[in-house]
Amino acid sequence: MSQQKPNEVVEKIVSLCKRKGFVFQSSEIYGGLNGCWDYGPLGVELLNNIKMEWWKFMTYREDVEGLDAAILMHPRVWEASGHVENFTDPMVDCKNCKSRFRLDHLSENINSKKKEKAIESLFAELTNEEKISLSNIESLSAEEKFEKILENKTFSSRLLKFVNCPNCGTLGSFTEARQFNLMFKTFIGPVEDQSAVVYLRPETAQGIFVNFLNVLNSSRQQLPFGIAQIGKAFRNEINTKNFLFRTREFEQMEMQYFVKPEEDKKWYDYWKEQRINWFKSLGMSKDKLRFHDHPKEKLAHYAKEATDIEYEFPFGWGEIEGIHNRTNFDLSRHEEYSGKSLKYLNEETKEKFIPYIIETSAGASRSFMAFLIDAYKEETVNDELRVVMRFHPKLAPIKAAVLPLVNRDGMPEIAKSIETELRNYFKVFYDDKGSIGRRYRRQDEAGTPYCITIDNETLNDKTVTIRYRDSMEQERIKIDDIPSRILRKIREGAS
């Protein structure tokens, strides 16, 4: 895999996803819908397993409660949260081919030489005073200079005059940058006017904030405690890209942990460690995971401290989860906009205050993609290529395949009764088509960790072989021991 180009790897995975039924393009028979994907039979199992592991890890503890809030919320929520005003991306259009680009992503589509040339041309027309105002970027590389000038409201459109459209190649064809709100709008009720506008939520977090008091009072929790939620979120991204990485409909797994303000640092550090360890505990390669701490000047308006957990995708490092110290921003804003007190009463000191919030916000769909890419392995076995999805057994869509060696001599009957028994515990696949070697390969591609084969010996001594996906080793065990053996191996993460 290491010698392959990034695009080749992603293309192979996209093709495997379609062939094996992990992910399909949304509305494919109509030509697809950009930025939306459907999870097929194996994909939905993998996604559900990721979500279930997250749910267990985050909520099967005494200080975190679960929630499932509605996707549609009162429109004032999004005013209070700052999304109506600030959840925007600057975008530019090419006047020639009508392609639309996020201004802050344009740089990725332009090569270094062209950037250098554009900067030179811009500087040639600047006055001395203007040059002085840009002297703070003098020591930066051309790449960094280009990005800094694009961020600069005074000079970005002047730089764009010297940039070719990455799609059609036309020089200087960009419009002025405009702010584009990423929230999808729709209408509630029968009248489609401004007073009926509601938004599809762009994050699940706000459903948690507005339920802070409901959960606190009904669960009788005390600080520190958390509320966790998994659910769909929608963003009208200008440029969707890299398969499931940036989509318009996706799922988030978010937890908001309410703490005393003076304990914010302690809990921020605690959740950072917990969350990166969660990915590692489910087998994600340690050397492909890292933190990316946000520098102070790049923090979101609500954050005091923030870090991303990044995974090294074939196309580079990308965020799979954000961890933020959101201070008391959210609850204060909801208090202000709703007129309802969201203060916490410390029963002992009788002190009332708005808690700080430490947020852990993971993308279920992005985690899915990271787990998928991390699991994908190509190996040579007996001079043949073996594609194997080395999922952690807890995440594997199908846990066991039941394979009668031949379709006679009573083997199918025994195999069927094993299948029926195993279905009490987990997802099982029954396969009696083709040579046993080919059946193993099909299960390797699906990531099935255990294959149970019923053969001639089974007829004599009620034993079967269990074949492990990663080592390809086989072991003979008693039929009666199959469920407990597999359940133990899943727990141990052994495959």
Half-sphere exposure (CA, 13 Å, Cβ side) for 198? 13
At closest approach, how far in Å is the CB of 159 from ligand GAP? Answer: 27
CB of 3 to ligand GAP, least distance (A): 29
CA nearest neighbour of 391 among 337, 431, 443:
443
To ligand GAP, the closest distance from the beta carbon of 248 in angstroms equals: 7
The residues with which 452 forms a beta bridge, in sequence order, are 402, 466
Residue 401 contacts by C-beta under 8 Å, 6 or more apart in sequence? 428, 429, 430, 431, 439, 443, 448, 450, 451, 452
What is 382-420 written as a DSSP string?
TTEEEEEE---TTT-S--EEEEESSS-TTHHHHHHHHHH
Question: Which lies closer to ligand GAP via its Cβ, residue 83 or residue 145?
Answer: 83
CB of 300 to ligand GAP, least distance (A): 8
Q: In this structure, are residues 373 and 387 in contact, taking their beta carbons and an 8 Å threshold?
A: no
Nearer to ligand GAP, 205 or 354 (CB): 205
Shortest Å distance, C-beta 205 to ligand GAP: 4
Q: What is the DSSP string of 229-267?
A: EEEEEE---SS-BTTTTB-SEEEEEEEEEEE-GGGHHHH
Cβ-proximal residues to 174 (8 Å cutoff; 6+ apart), any chain: 92, 93, 94, 95, 157, 160, 163, 165
Query: Which of residues 311 and 450 has its CB atom nearest to ligand GAP in the complex?
Result: 311
Q: Which residue is nearest to ligand GAP (CB)?
A: 363
Q: 224: cis peptide before it, omega within 30°?
A: yes
Nearer Cβ to ligand GAP (200/418): 200
Nearer to ligand GAP, 310 or 455 (CB): 310
Which DSSP state fits 479?
A: G
Within a 13 Å sphere around the CA of 71, how many CA atoms are in the beta-carbon half?
18
Shortest Å, Cβ 203 to ligand GAP? 4
Smallest gap from residue 302 Cβ to ligand GAP (A) = 9
Least CB distance to ligand GAP at residue 367 (A) = 7
Nearer to ligand GAP (CB atom), residue 314 or residue 363: 363
Nearer to ligand GAP, 104 or 409 (CB): 104
Closest among 421, 413, 422 to 458, alpha carbons compared: 413
Sheet containing 64-67: which strands, arranged edge to edge?
Answer: 64-67, 225-234, 249-259, 356-363, 316-327, 305-313, 289-293
Task: Report how far residue 134's alpha carbon sits from residue 153's, in angstroms, rounded to the nearest whole number.
Answer: 12
Residue type, 166: P
Q: In whole angstroms, how close is the CB of 249 to ligand GAP at the nearest point?
A: 8
Shorter beta-carbon distance to ligand GAP: residue 226 or 393:
226
Q: What is the CA radius of gyration of the chain?
A: 27
For ligand GAP, give the closer residue by CB, 164 or 247: 247
> Least Å distance between CB 75 and ligand GAP?
18
Residue among 358 and 362 whose Cβ is closer to ligand GAP: 362
Asked if residues 222 and 186 have their Cβ atoms less than 8 Å apart, the reply is no
Q: Which residues of the chain form contacts with ligand GAP (CB under 6 A)? A: 203, 205, 235, 237, 246-247, 250, 252, 254, 319-322, 359, 361-363, 365-366
Output the six-digit token pair for 282.
């489910």
Taking the least distance from each CB to ligand GAP, the nearer of 173 and 361 is 361
Contacts of 218 (CB under 8 A, 6+ apart): none
Instruction: Give min distance, CB of 57 to ligand GAP, in A.
Output: 16
